[in-house]
Amino acid sequence: LIQKSEGQKSLYYLAYGSNLSASTFKGRRGIKPLSATNVLCPGQVLVFDLDGIPYWEPCFANIREYISELEQLVVSGSGEVWKNALIGVVYEVTEEDYAKIIKTEGGGARYKDVEVDCYVLPKADGQGISGPVTTIKAHTLCAPPNKANPTSISQPSPRYLGLLVNGAKENSLPQAYINYLFSLHEYCRTTWSQKVGAFLFLAQWILPIAAFLRFKDLFSDKKTGESPGWIQKMEGGMWAAIWFTYRRMYMPFWGDGQ
């Protein structure tokens, strides 16, 4: 953790996915948090309904609101259910670093900035909150239903799920939550046809995706990290084409890639 310079503005950011991991948040994204606080977020649950790249990174983490106890039982693609609210880490970050988070999380093309209420976990095991509760209003990133796939049955890759599990351990999140993350099924290619399909699919799409992301960086707003609207529409079209290709050309012949 670092100290804030005099006059430097900061805000609270809730991490719940791969940004729980120091290797991603501080390493690859280069974020230098000013503080970190473990929190519980009533009214929010962790889901994996943001489509990724079939056969490689099938899906990414997202959050959804729940209204009642029944809606709280959100089923993941692998069938397990975590019956309690979202748990994550609230980082205090500078406005410059938050713009960097926005940029490296898609520049607004898929995730949107929202504010959520977070309750500080008072003890390491996080098994309950008693007495006065400290509340933090934090920004976080959520892919709305029109950007995500609420009916998705995709499973996260071993690499991606590993980031969540390791990040939860690094931040000493409640053991029950770590156990839940660890219990989730990960996507694995188990047949030769899936492995061949993955090779062909990635050969077709990896270079275009990488080229587009480099092109997209040229137009990111340096102050907010967001991409212009026309770039966001182009990216939406790219993801639609990726999944259309998978569902029509690859899945029927080479097997499940999600």
Confirm whether residue 111 is marked as ligand binding: no
Percent of the chain with pLDDT over 90: 74
Rounded mean pLDDT of the chain? Answer: 87
Kindly indicate the confidence band of residue 132, based on its pLDDT and cuts at 50, 70 and 90: low
Which pLDDT value is given to residue 147? 86
Which pLDDT value is given to residue 151? 76
- Judge whether 105 counts as a catalytic residue: yes
Confirm whether residue 15 is marked as ligand binding: yes
Which pLDDT value is given to residue 70? 39
Query: Looking at residues 188-194, what average pLDDT do you find?
Result: 96
Taking 60 as the threshold, does the pLDDT of residue 76 lie above it? no
- Residue 155's SS3 state is coil
Which pLDDT value is given to residue 125? 47
User: Residues with Cβ < 8 Å from 181, sequence gap 6 or more?
Assistant: 161, 164, 165, 168
Confirm whether residue 91 is marked as ligand binding: no
Which pLDDT value is given to residue 86? 93
Kindly indicate the confidence band of residue 120, based on its pLDDT and cuts at 50, 70 and 90: very high
Q: Are 87 and 183 in contact (CB under 8 A)?
A: no
Taking 70 as the threshold, does the pLDDT of residue 68 lie above it? no
Confirm whether residue 98 is marked as ligand binding: no
Which pLDDT value is given to residue 72? 40
DSSP letter assigned to residue 59: E
Which pLDDT value is given to residue 150? 78
User: Residues with Cβ < 8 Å from 45, sequence gap 6 or more?
Assistant: 63, 64, 66, 72, 74, 82, 85, 86
Confirm whether residue 148 is marked as ligand binding: no
Residues 239-256 pLDDT 10s:
999 999 999 999 999 999
Which pLDDT value is given to residue 82? 56
- Residue 152's SS3 state is coil
Kindly indicate the confidence band of residue 123, based on its pLDDT and cuts at 50, 70 and 90: low
What is the distance between the alpha carbons of residues 242 and 138, in angstroms, rounded to a whole number?
Answer: 33
Query: Looking at residues 192-196, what average pLDDT do you find?
Result: 97
Kindly indicate the confidence band of residue 122, based on its pLDDT and cuts at 50, 70 and 90: confident
pTM of the prediction? 0.86
Taking 90 as the threshold, does the pLDDT of residue 6 lie above it? no
Enumerate the domain spans of the chain: 10-188
Question: For domain 10-188, which architecture applies?
Answer: Roll (3.10)
Which pLDDT value is given to residue 127? 45
Confirm whether residue 18 is marked as ligand binding: yes
Catalytic residue among 105, 115, 170, 226: 105
When comparing pLDDT for 210 and 149, which is higher?
A: 210
Which pLDDT value is given to residue 111? 93
Taking 80 as the threshold, does the pLDDT of residue 226 lie above it? yes
User: Residues with Cβ < 8 Å from 129, sequence gap 6 or more?
Assistant: 40, 119, 121, 122
Confirm whether residue 229 is marked as ligand binding: no
Measured CA to CA in angstroms, residue 162 lies from 14, 22, 64, 84, 207 at distances of 19, 12, 21, 21, 25
Taking 50 as the threshold, does the pLDDT of residue 126 lie above it? no
Kindly indicate the confidence band of residue 133, based on its pLDDT and cuts at 50, 70 and 90: low
